[in-house]
Chain A
């Protein structure tokens, strides 16, 4: 099939750009480990309260600058509320849902993931700045969806 010379240039240039983009995000994903949250851990959504570690939601200190935040999402709230985290700490957020799909977004950070019943999703984040962070549910979950939010305080 004959293709016009200029179109060839355009398509080769376009495809090359796409190749560059894919290489960048591929290297970032597989060499630097910048993967989107894709946790494979399962949980019975009807027994969240009885299943470790979600039987005791809250912030747990693991190491000097390392914490684990165990969070349960349900219509229309997050448990625990109002967590306090020291500045500079790295937190592993482990979140699951007791009912429908929710979202977990900490505004002004790169923390954003889907919370799906039957699954535990997780993401790591280091709080480098003190202040109040707003956490919202960003997936429609019912009539009170816009009230589903909590706060994280990062203190010096």
Chain B
């Protein structure tokens, strides 16, 4: 924290205003993002619950809103709106903690970005509710939604670019004022996340602006489907790292402090984030392994690159467990697993992210299976895949965000996390864990039995296979119910922490680095180089196959509205 920040903070405390580490204006910006993300969580969660019910046949469609309208809303609200808004709130908090106060200009830019995002979400939601955009959250060509749907998406993405621009500006300002110094680790990781998002969204913006919106407006009457899908998945895979990286920031920098330890290595933490930037993009074909028009050779090239991006996750796993073990040793634990007994399981700030980490172990293994070239054929587009991303983003990431919100929300609001709320948090975490175990296990198994994903209540000629799936649908509905209860508990806790619990200064848990850890080399700050390498890798993996797609494009396909 610099001198001005200190003075400002003093001033705020004397005036009886909430004394947080983050300034009041900075806290407001972050809280705006977080609070709207929680609205999306509620709506999306309700849709999810209804989907599990409709799929079992317990309830028929509700008032003309069918399975696919629910599913579109669920995917958009949770995978796009909840995650993105929460993440931007989190990143602004991390930058607030790292830099003290924001300059007026980037802070205002942050607000402009926020209102763009909200406007985009409103337009998109309106179209989905009006039944004009039942295209699921992937809006694959040549499904043709209402133009306003695509315009809403574009406005949303532009909002995120403005907000990211604000962050880049803050980072650049800091670097200018502190020559030769490494910006704090949390700031570095936050900027890496925002950069990853901006580079990723270029692809989806391209297909919306140049292919889908013109088609929907009637300016063009044909669309190149494989090109559109390739641009989408160029975005779709880094999207999952955009969800994951903020959780990793918490794992690397916050969790060590909560367990009473230190960051294992600042340099390796930066290194893993750098590797994520480099290897997140040239891998989108692992979502298109079963598609015509892409050569098997280039699919395999991207499979190889996909496996490389596993390495920074292995580094993260090592770092986490190294930290836990060092803490255990200091607390006199013996043996390899002695640390297990020394962890603060009664602290929701630890428990929720920790269970998230445990979920990530099978989730990562499942991801390796999905990406394994010909093995993919067994699971592609079955409920297995849905099970997979509910334990990655829906458990590892969501639980980490929950655990973080329990201290971040009161901190941003100048209140404190009470022990009653902490207890509620433990119950809520347990509910999420149990619900997710039920739902995702059922999804994985029935997927292996062939049960397709994204599919409403299917009778399939009363085939005996369908009868085999019924128990799993029931387990999904039970899990879904427990999960929804967990969401309600969480939102109740958030309301209390934002508006009711006693005023005070909640701690921003942020760990220091282990003393004997090495110094951080300066090459991490060579942004021009890393952005160049990122695009070079993208060019390597995509130029030939995209060239091939354009060169050998089939006659275009007209758009369709089939709902």
Contact = CB atoms under 8 A, between A and B. Distances in A.
Q: Do A and B bind each other?
A: yes
Interface of A: 1-4, 6-7, 10-11, 14-15, 18, 21-22, 25-26, 28-30, 34-46, 75, 99-101, 103, 105, 107-108, 110, 112-114, 116-121, 132, 134, 136-147, 149, 151
B560 A99 contact: yes
Contacts of B268: 1, 3, 7
Interface residues of B, number: 77
B181 interface: no
Given A10-B314, A22-B307, A110 B377 contact: yes
B297 to A, nearest CB: 8
B444 interface: no
A69 B20 CA distance: 68
Contacts of A36: 289-290, 296, 299, 373-374, 376-377
B557 A45 contact: yes
Contacts, number: 225
Given A4-B322, A36-B289, A36-B376, A99 B294 contact: no
Interface stretch (B76-84, B199-207, B448-456): B448-456
Contacts of A22: 303-304, 307
Nearest to B317: A10
Interface in B492-535: 518, 521
A36 to B, nearest CB: 5
A100 B68 contact: no
B460 to A, nearest CB: 5
Contact of B290 (A1, A29, A37, A144): A37
A149 B554 CA distance: 27
B381 A103 contact: yes
B212 to A, nearest CB: 13
Closest 10 CB pairs of A and B: A142-B562, A118-B554, A107-B450, A138-B452, A119-B292, A146-B458, A138-B381, A35-B296, A121-B292, A42-B554
B558 interface: yes
Contacts of A138: 380-382, 452-455
B373 A1 contact: no
Contacts of B454: 138-140, 145
Interface in B454-496: 454-461, 463, 465
A10 B372 CA distance: 22
A7 B318 contact: yes
A75 B455 CA distance: 14
A11 B292 contact: no
B292 A38 contact: yes
A26 B289 CA distance: 14
B554 A2 contact: no
Nearest to B456: A146
Contact of A38 (B224, B265, B294): B294
B557 A118 contact: yes
